[in-house]
Amino acid sequence: MDGSSDLIITPNFNGVQNLEELVLARCSNLRKLHPSIGKLKKLKLLDLKECQELTSLPDKLEMESLVTLNLTHCLKVKKIPEFVENMVLLRELLLEGTDIAELPSSVECLTSLNILILRNCKNLVRLPNTICSLTSLNNLDLFKCSKFDKLPGDLGKIVSLKELCLSKTAIRELPSSFEFLIGLTSLDLTDCKNFVHLPSSICSLKSLDKIILSGCPKFDKLPEYLGNITSLKKLDFSGTAIEELPSSIESLIGLTSLDLTDCKNFVLLPSTICSLKSLRFFFLSGCSKFDKLPKDLGNIGSLQVLFLGGTAIEELPSSVEFLIGLKTLCLEDCKNFVHLPSTICSLKSLKCMMLSRCPKFVNLPENFGNLKRLNLLFLDGTAIEELPSSVGRLAALETLNLKDCKNFVHLPSTICNLKMVDHVDLTGCSKITNLPENMENLENLSYLRLGGTAIKELPSSIIHLERVPRLSFYLWQSLSSSRTSLTRSHSIDLSDCNLSAIPSGIDRFFKEGFLQLFLRGNDFVSLHESFSQFSGLMRLYLDGCKSLRSLSNIPSTVFFICVDNCTSLEILPEPSNDFYWSSFHKFTVQCFNCFKLADNIKHFSNVFEVSL
């Protein structure tokens, strides 16, 4: 009967006492269960998942063989009936998304219960103290029980408990008996906005490998002896109010991940943190008061990912050279950062370096090219003026972002040695006037952005770039003197350039083949008659050109035009005398919000496919 929309009330099951599985999941109109279901002695599975109209269960559950009871997303179920003593085989009680406010005290009868899921029970306010008798319980999930504010005092009696999720609840603290949860491996308190305190007794939990306090803004201090929990592998204190870590953290020899993201009050890392030989992921981004890394940071030889974005640091310690496993280094938005030590060039594993929006950062180390595995280099928004010539040795580099480097004046010719680079962004580099001549060596280049530069001419070698599908000039600089053409280019983007006319010389970029032209958001009133000579153009995008009144002089090769939001447009092109157009089954004009076109649409509907 799974998924039935016809079932409203279940039949009498007295005649099928040997039934072992009853699946009524997603019966969208089921409102009531026959009382006989509660007395099916051999039933092992009762699945009522997503029966969203179901309001109640039988008054008493006497299903002594039941192993799994699934009421997930039974949104209108407000009460769980009493359990009888002989329901000792029940292992899974799944109540996610129900409307219950509490559990019956008889839950203590479920002595074999392993999993209790109460996620998204928005009205749940308490758990009965009798739940502490469930000595087989492994997993207790209270995620998003937003009214739940207090755990039972004797919670520590559930010694088998391994996973406890309290994320997005209203609790303020943990009971003192917490120290007796000797089997607990995972504690999740994510987004508990009222949570203020971890008892020092938590440091007795020798099995605990994960503590998550992310998004607990009132939590401001860690227990002094946190280091006693030597089993810990992951600590997440992101978004808390802590100011420092206890020195005992050096004893967390198995810790692999430490997240302090957006700890706005955090100011100090103890030097003992450099003893964490297993640490692989370290996040400090958004710790705006944090201004100095320990000088022995390089001792954390296993570190792979280091995020320092938005901190107040000015430099990295020279010992960074010993972070031989480091793959990702993020320093974006470090407004005071001025210097990379030359020793950083020893990091043979480094693949990604982000220095975006570090306005005081002025130069890369001369031997930067030693980073042979570097794939991604983000220098956008820095104060650098040029790249060292050694950059030509970055054999694995794929992305180079120099966007909005206002002081940048020069690309070394050695950059053309980068066979793997596929994305170069120079947008907003207003002082750069030319590209290296031997651009054809960039055989993998597929995306080149030059908008807002002072480049007036492209090198002739650019004609040999076979893979460039998009050449963007977002603040058009005259290319009328250029003698080049992009024979295999797929598109040119001149969007939002305040153009009132198409720049002269641009037709040189168009040859036979599949080509697109993006002219979005410009100030055209009409298109010049010379536009008809753009012989390879097939798709034309003029959306958002609010001054455009007419479409004329469209090249005969065009089969799609987008003029969405061209609110002044009144006239479509006249195709009737054009042999090429008439050979197409449909010529498509997409024109959403082009209200002035309304009177002309019918005239062209037999020739165009017009999308309104």
Whether pLDDT at 587 is above 80: no
**pLDDT attached to residue 534:** 82
Whether pLDDT at 128 is above 90: yes
311-330 pLDDT, tens digit each: 999 999 999 999 999 999 99
Whether pLDDT at 255 is above 50: yes
Single-letter code of the amino acid located at 460 = S
Query: Rounded CA gap, 288 and 380, in Å?
Result: 20
The torsion angle over the Cα atoms of residues 509, 511, 513 and 515, rounded to 10 degrees, is 30
Whether pLDDT at 298 is above 70: yes
Whether pLDDT at 265 is above 90: yes
Nearby residues of 130 by Cβ (< 8 Å), 6 or more positions away: 105, 106, 107, 108
**pLDDT attached to residue 490:** 62
Record the tokens describing residue 210, joined without a space: 């994960």
Residue 501 pLDDT grade (very low, low, confident, very high; cuts 50, 70, 90)? confident
| Mean of the per-residue pLDDT values of the chain | 89
Q: Which CATH superfamily is domain 362-477 in?
A: Ribonuclease Inhibitor (3.80.10.10)
**pLDDT attached to residue 282:** 98
Whether pLDDT at 43 is above 50: yes
Q: Are 237 and 263 in contact (CB under 8 A)?
A: yes
Whether pLDDT at 273 is above 90: yes
* Neighbouring C-alpha atoms within 13 Å toward the C-beta of 252: 31
**pLDDT attached to residue 168:** 98
457-497 pLDDT, tens digit each: 667 666 566 555 555 544 444 344 443 444 444 677 777 77
Q: Taking CA 84 as the corner, what is the angle to CA 180 and CA 160, rounded to the nearest 5 degrees?
A: 20
558-576 pLDDT, tens digit each: 889 999 999 999 887 765 4
Query: Rounded CA gap, 452 and 431, in Å?
Result: 9
Record the tokens describing residue 329, joined without a space: 């280094």
**pLDDT attached to residue 46:** 97
Whether pLDDT at 25 is above 90: yes
Q: Which of 305, 254, 257 is nearest to 275 (CA)?
A: 254
Q: Which of 349, 399, 396 is nearest to 379 (CA)?
A: 399
CA distances from 80 to 21, 39, 55, 99, 103 (A): 20, 15, 11, 10, 6
Single-letter code of the amino acid located at 83 = F
Residue whose tokens read 């000595």: 135
**pLDDT attached to residue 518:** 87
Record the tokens describing residue 570, joined without a space: 């009144």
46-101 pLDDT, tens digit each: 999 999 999 989 988 899 999 999 999 999 999 999 998 889 999 999 999 999 99
Query: Rounded CA gap, 223 and 232, in Å?
Result: 14
Residue 512 pLDDT grade (very low, low, confident, very high; cuts 50, 70, 90)? very low
**pLDDT attached to residue 130:** 96
Choice among 67-76, 81-90, 188-197, 260-269 with the minimum mean pLDDT: 81-90
Whether pLDDT at 227 is above 80: yes
Q: For 133-162, what is the mean pLDDT?
A: 97
Residue whose tokens read 């279940």: 10
**pLDDT attached to residue 481:** 40
Whether pLDDT at 608 is above 90: no
Instruction: Identify each DSSP E strand in 243-391 by its residue range.
Output: 257-259, 281-283, 305-307, 328-330, 352-354, 376-378
Q: Are 47 and 67 in contact (CB under 8 A)?
A: no
Single-letter code of the amino acid located at 378 = F
In the chain, count of helices (H) and strands (E)?
2, 28
Record the tokens describing residue 344, joined without a space: 């950083």
Residue 143's CB: how many other CB atoms inside 10 A?
18
346-389 pLDDT, tens digit each: 999 999 999 999 999 999 999 999 999 999 999 999 999 999 99
CA distances from 195 to 52, 225, 229 (A): 33, 20, 21
Whether pLDDT at 197 is above 60: yes
Q: Which of 141-150, 422-431, 553-562 shows the highest mean pLDDT?
A: 141-150
**pLDDT attached to residue 607:** 47
What would the CATH number be for the domain defined by 220-358?
3.80.10.10
**pLDDT attached to residue 334:** 98
Q: For 533-556, what is the mean pLDDT?
A: 88
**pLDDT attached to residue 485:** 41
Choice among 99-103, 239-243, 455-459 with the minimum mean pLDDT: 455-459
Higher per-residue confidence, 123 vs 492: 123
Residue 332 pLDDT grade (very low, low, confident, very high; cuts 50, 70, 90)? very high
Name the 3-class secondary structure at 132.
Answer: helix
Residue 3's CB: how many other CB atoms inside 10 A?
12
**pLDDT attached to residue 440:** 82
Choice among 13-27, 165-179, 280-294, 596-610 with the minimum mean pLDDT: 596-610
